[in-house]
């Protein structure tokens, strides 16, 4: 498929317009945007509506920690006007992809401006928990960063982007209040759960549940036998009742931990990815609501 830029040049040549005309005058052509993973792709679509054409690199149920780009990704990036990514060292594979695609558009670090949570890693290069979208308060920051760049790149449709932003932020804030209420109804002494990897630090900080996990903040590293043994001890000692599998990771280790401790599998959480469209978490807001309800169901019994 020809790129927006080549189409634009072709079309402007046909109608005899100056090639120097700003692209914003071509307001019927959606702005090509690449988002690195499904949660960001959904946010860009909510804000951009028909004025953007979004390509999402890591799709539904994909694991962006360990993604390996394919040739089509480099093509999409090279044709994009805007590249939206999480930052906080989440997409370790992105730098090489951007280099290889000669991307010359505008980069949006979606998490820019949130208060990052430091974690005690055993390597030097990833000092902050990247999963900032797991707090709805942070999502407002993401949405504002995306909106500002869309409006700057495509000023002809800026009012549309800001209108969509306002409606979206109202929904985000309403859901934030809903989740605080859901968690407030849970027993105080039964709020620790086990997940596969440490993706819920921001959820924990914002909503007051406590999460432990055999994998660290990335799915990249395998837990050691000693780590797993320590986790099993902790589950027994603290009487942790619920273990949650994640859509993006293999559930076998968690099933084994459940078997050994007698804790039950409380359901599937969506940490780093949306579900397919027919699944329970096909938008960012549905994902946050589904996770909260799944946690509450398991913890309130």
Which residue number, 154 or 272, has a Cβ lying nearer to Zn ion?
272
Which residue number, 160 or 268, has a Cβ lying nearer to Zn ion?
268
Q: Where are the alpha helices (H) located in the chain, listed in sequence order?
A: 4-14, 38-48, 71-79, 94-101, 136-153, 158-184, 201-207, 225-238, 252-261, 284-299
Which residue number, 38 or 101, has a Cβ lying nearer to Zn ion?
38
Name residues whose C-beta falls within 8 Å of residue 159's C-beta, 6 or more positions apart in sequence.
none
Distance between CA atoms of 148 and 145, rounded to whole angstroms?
5
Q: Least Å distance between CB 115 and Zn ion? A: 18
Which residue number, 89 or 156, has a Cβ lying nearer to Zn ion?
89
Q: Where are the alpha helices (H) located in 15-103, listed in sequence order?
A: 38-48, 71-79, 94-101
Q: Least Å distance between CB 241 and Zn ion? A: 24
- Under DSSP, the state recorded for 275 is P
Three-state secondary-structure class, residue 216: coil
- Under DSSP, the state recorded for 83 is E
Q: Least Å distance between CB 24 and Zn ion? A: 36
Token pair belonging to 237 = 């000692």
Q: Least Å distance between CB 194 and Zn ion? A: 15
Which residue number, 79 or 206, has a Cβ lying nearer to Zn ion?
206
Which residue number, 81 or 91, has a Cβ lying nearer to Zn ion?
91
Which residue number, 132 or 153, has a Cβ lying nearer to Zn ion?
132
Integer CA distances (angstroms), 85 to 36, 109, 214, 277, 290, in order: 5, 5, 26, 22, 24
Distance between CA atoms of 83 and 101, rounded to whole angstroms?
12
- Contact residues for Zn ion (CB under 5 A)? 199, 272
Lateral strand order in the sheet of 192-194: 210-212, 192-194, 242-246, 264-269
Q: Least Å distance between CB 219 and Zn ion? A: 6
Q: Least Å distance between CB 20 and Zn ion? A: 44
CB burial of 2-19 (b: ≥16 within 10 Å; e: otherwise) equals eebeeebeeebeeeeeee
Name residues whose C-beta falls within 8 Å of residue 105's C-beta, 6 or more positions apart in sequence.
80, 81, 82, 83
Q: Least Å distance between CB 187 and Zn ion? A: 28
Q: Least Å distance between CB 41 and Zn ion? A: 16
Distance between CA atoms of 73 and 229, rounded to whole angstroms?
40
Which residue number, 151 or 295, has a Cβ lying nearer to Zn ion?
295
Closest CA to 58 of 81, 75, 35: 35
């Amino acid at each position: 498929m020809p790129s927006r830029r080549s189409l634009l040049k072709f079309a402007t040549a046909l109608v005899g317009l100056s090639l120097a005309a700003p692209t914003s005058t071509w307001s019927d052509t959606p702005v090509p945007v690449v988002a690195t993973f499904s949660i960001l792709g959904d946010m860009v679509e909510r804000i951009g509506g028909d004025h953007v054409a979004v390509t999402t690199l890591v799709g539904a149920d994909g694991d962006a920690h360990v993604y390996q780009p394919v040739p089509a990704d480099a093509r999409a990036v090279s044709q994009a006007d805007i590249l939206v990514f999480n930052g906080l060292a989440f997409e370790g594979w992105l730098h090489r992809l951007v280099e290889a695609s000669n991307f010359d558009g505008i980069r949006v670090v979606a998490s820019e401006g949130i208060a990052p949570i430091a974690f005690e890693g055993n390597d030097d290069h990833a000092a902050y928990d990247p999963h900032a979208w797991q707090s709805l308060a942070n999502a407002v920051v993401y949405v504002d960063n995306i909106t500002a760049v869309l409006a700057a790149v495509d000023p002809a449709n800026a009012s549309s982007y800001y209108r969509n932003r306002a409606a979206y932020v109202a929904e985000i804030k309403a859901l934030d209040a809903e989740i605080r209420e859901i968690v407030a109804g849970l027993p105080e002494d039964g709020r620790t759960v086990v997940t596969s990897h440490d993706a819920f630090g921001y959820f924990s900080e914002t909503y007051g549940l406590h999460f432990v996990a055999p994998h660290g903040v990335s799915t990249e590293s395998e837990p050691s036998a000693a780590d797993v043994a320590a986790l099993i001890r902790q589950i027994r000692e603290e009487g942790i009742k619920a273990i949650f599998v994640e859509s993006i990771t293999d559930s076998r280790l968690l099933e084994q931990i459940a078997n050994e401790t007698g804790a039950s599998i409380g359901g599937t959480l969506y940490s780093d990815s949306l579900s397919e469209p027919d699944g329970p978490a096909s938008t960012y807001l549905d994902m946050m609501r589904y996770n909260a309800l799944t946690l509450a169901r398991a913890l309130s019994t």
